[in-house]
């Protein structure tokens, strides 16, 4: 009897302790919880990157055993440094055959110009400023992401979706000298404004987004899809009423502006260099080492990429990853449970994937390029099982290490850029 009383008292004490812990947790503002998650995730990633930097041999970007900031500023970071310190070339570099070679025009100006301005203001190095901008933008992206998915999910699920964003294999982008963190932050703000129907507020965000990452045309297509679905209202759409011409005008205008921004950068490259196809020829230079020189034919790159990967020993794994990956995304988009995460998020994913299928050549950068469909993590976060959630976080961290090993770490002549 005494043992049972003791056991019962212990259980009640534990229960009261758990209740108090939950009460304290709920008293912490949501943004503070997300900040803690973000800092912990970035700390884990920093440890991984420091481990790779410690064994990094000398390469075209750094000396051996580089510091964290130097290691975090390689690959495209080197191009952003060129733009931040010297701007864009007025004459396109060409090879012996007259083909345009890799150059700074492939990169949008908002991120490197912001870094340049902060360098002049603070006197800090490119590496310090560029990585800091990404860290702050990544933090902002995590906060906005939590608010965005919180429009559709309960608080625990929305928080777990944000945890997945913070530990995702390509979340390394939140702490390196790349424009991805800034671009994702702006994209999530634009999607949140779309969900809230704050179209006019979205205009400056869309303008800046289109000059940070090449997503202007994709976002315009998203708005066109949204207007079409909103107008015709199929049975699975929960919009309360069909729009009027007056209510449809603001998103239509934002779509036009976004599309114009998407076309503006190629026009600017043409105006500065005098070459009509300066931007597209520059982009094609990056895939020439895979499939040679050619023209940009919409929707052909993925067919070419599939064939190219099949031609390499063991390349069938990468080749099969293309249709399997698209099928997995399709499941996330169209499984019945996906309707809980909002029409806007699903239509954005469709629009962005169609854009990628039209213009992007699948190679090692594909995983980074898929970061803008991060809102689909809201679907992945729906199950409540603790075992499922812990397993997902562990798998994400393992894949983060794999991604760093396969793409970021420079191993001799490395043809797998992140």
Residue 23 lies in a domain: no
Instruction: Work out the burial of residue 317: count CB atoms within 10 Å of its CB; fewer than 13 is exposed, 13-18 middle, 19 or more buried.
Output: exposed
Whether residue 267 has pLDDT greater than 90? yes
The answer to the question of residue 26 being in a domain is: no
Q: What is the DSSP letter of 341?
A: G
Contact 267, 278 (CB under 8 A): no
Please state, rounded to an integer, the average pLDDT across all residues of the chain.
Answer: 91
115-140 pLDDT per residue, tens: 999 999 999 999 999 999 999 999 99
Instruction: State residue 12's pLDDT score.
Output: 63
Q: Identify the pLDDT of residue 211.
A: 98
Rounded to whole angstroms, how far apart are CA atoms 115 and 89? 18
Which range among 97-101, 143-147, 215-219, 385-389 shows the weakest confidence by mean pLDDT? 97-101
What's the pLDDT score for residue 186? 98
pLDDT digits (tens, 9 = 90+) for 190-223: 999 999 999 999 999 999 999 999 999 999 999 9
pLDDT at 332 over 90: no
The residues pairing with 355 across neighbouring beta strands, listed in sequence order, are none
Statement: residue 1 has pLDDT above 70: no
Q: How far apart are CA 344 and CA 339, in angstroms?
A: 10
Least confident interval from 140-154, 253-267, 361-375: 361-375
Which of 22-36, 87-101, 133-147, 356-370 is predicted least confidently?
A: 22-36
How large is the average pLDDT for residues 166-190?
98
Q: Alpha carbon of 67 to those of 54, 169, 251, 372: distances in Å? A: 8, 22, 46, 29
- In a 3-state reduction of DSSP, which class is residue 240? coil
* 20 within domain boundaries: no
| pLDDT tens by residue, 84-96 | 999 999 999 999 9
Which of 144-148, 288-292, 403-407 comes out lowest in average pLDDT? 288-292
Rounded-to-integer distance, Cα 377 and Cα 341, Å: 10
pLDDT at 86: 96
- Percent helix, strand, coil in the chain, to 5, is 70, 0, 25
The pTM is what? 0.93
**Mean pLDDT computed over 105-116:** 98
Whether residue 77 has pLDDT greater than 70: yes
Q: Is the pLDDT of residue 412 over 60?
A: yes
Residue 3 in domain:
no
Task: Output the six-digit token pair for 121.
Answer: 């203001």
Average pLDDT over residues 161-180: 98
Q: Has residue 275 been placed in a domain? A: yes
pLDDT at res. 311: 80
Report which of residues 153 and 243 the model is more confident about.
153
Number of C-beta neighbours around residue 169 at 10 A: 19
Better-predicted residue by pLDDT, 310 or 174: 174
Q: Which of 7-16, 162-171, 225-234, 279-288 has the highest mean pLDDT?
A: 162-171
pLDDT band at 5 (very low <50, low <70, confident <90, very high): low
Q: What is the pLDDT of residue 11?
A: 55
CA dist., res. 256 & res. 354, Å (int) = 18
pLDDT of residue 7: 59
- Residue 375 counted as domain residue: yes
Which one, of 144, 246, 231, 235, lies nearest residue 195 by Cα? Answer: 144
| Domain encompassing residue 233 | 34-50+70-89+108-408
By C-alpha distance, which of 400, 5, 342 is closest to 173?
400
Q: Which residue has the higher pLDDT, 177 or 330?
A: 177
Name the percent of the chain lying above pLDDT 90: 70
Query: How many domains does the chain contain in total?
Result: 1
Which CA distances in Å does 343 have to 194, 195, 204? 11, 9, 23
The lowest-confidence range among 12-26, 124-138, 274-288 is 12-26
pLDDT of residue 304: 87
Is 416 a member of any domain?
Answer: no
Place of tokens 């076309």: 263
User: Is residue 62 one of the residues assigned to a domain?
Assistant: no
Question: Is residue 23 helix, strand or coil?
Answer: helix
């Amino acid at each position: 009897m005494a043992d049972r009383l003791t056991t019962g008292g212990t259980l009640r004490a534990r229960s009261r302790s758990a209740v108090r812990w939950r009460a304290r947790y709920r008293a912490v503002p949501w943004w503070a919880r997300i900040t803690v998650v973000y800092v912990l995730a970035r700390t884990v990633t920093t440890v991984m990157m420091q481990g790779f930097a410690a064994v990094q041999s000398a390469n075209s970007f750094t000396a051996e055993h580089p510091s964290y900031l130097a290691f975090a500023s390689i690959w495209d970071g080197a191009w952003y440094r060129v733009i931040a310190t010297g701007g864009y070339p007025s004459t396109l570099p060409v090879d012996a055959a007259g083909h345009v070679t890799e150059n700074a025009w492939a990169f949008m100006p908002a991120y490197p110009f912001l870094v340049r301005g902060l360098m002049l203001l603070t006197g800090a190095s490119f590496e310090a400023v560029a990585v800091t901008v990404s860290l702050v933008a990544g933090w902002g992206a995590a906060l906005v992401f939590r608010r965005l998915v919180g429009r559709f999910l309960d608080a625990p699920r929305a928080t777990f979706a944000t945890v997945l964003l913070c530990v995702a294999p390509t979340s390394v982008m939140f702490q390196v000298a790349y424009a991805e963190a800034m671009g994702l932050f702006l994209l999530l703000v634009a999607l949140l404004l779309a969900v809230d129907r704050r179209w006019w507020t979205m205009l400056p965000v869309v303008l800046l987004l289109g000059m940070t990452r090449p997503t202007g045309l994709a976002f315009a297509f998203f708005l066109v899809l949204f207007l079409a679905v909103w107008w015709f209202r199929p049975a699975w759409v929960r919009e309360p009423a069909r729009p009027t011409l007056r209510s449809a005008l603001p998103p239509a205008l934002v779509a036009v502006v976004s599309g114009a921004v998407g076309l503006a950068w190629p026009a600017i490259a043409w105006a500065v260099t005098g070459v009509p196809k300066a931007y597209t020829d520059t982009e094609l230079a990056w895939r020439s080492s895979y499939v040679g020189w050619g023209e940009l034919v919409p929707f052909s790159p993925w067919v070419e990429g599939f064939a190219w990967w099949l031609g390499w020993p063991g390349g069938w794994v990468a080749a099969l990853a293309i249709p399997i990956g698209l099928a997995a995304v399709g499941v996330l988009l169209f499984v019945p449970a996906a309707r809980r995460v909002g029409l806007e998020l699903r239509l954005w994913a469709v629009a962005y994937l169609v854009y990628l299928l039209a213009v992007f050549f699948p190679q090692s950068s594909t995983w980074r390029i898929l970061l803008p469909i991060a809102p689909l993590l809201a679907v992945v976060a729906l199950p409540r099982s603790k075992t499922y959630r812990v397993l997902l976080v562990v798998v994400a961290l393992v894949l983060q290490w794999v991604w760093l090993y396969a793409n970021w770490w420079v191993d001799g002549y490395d043809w797998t850029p992140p």
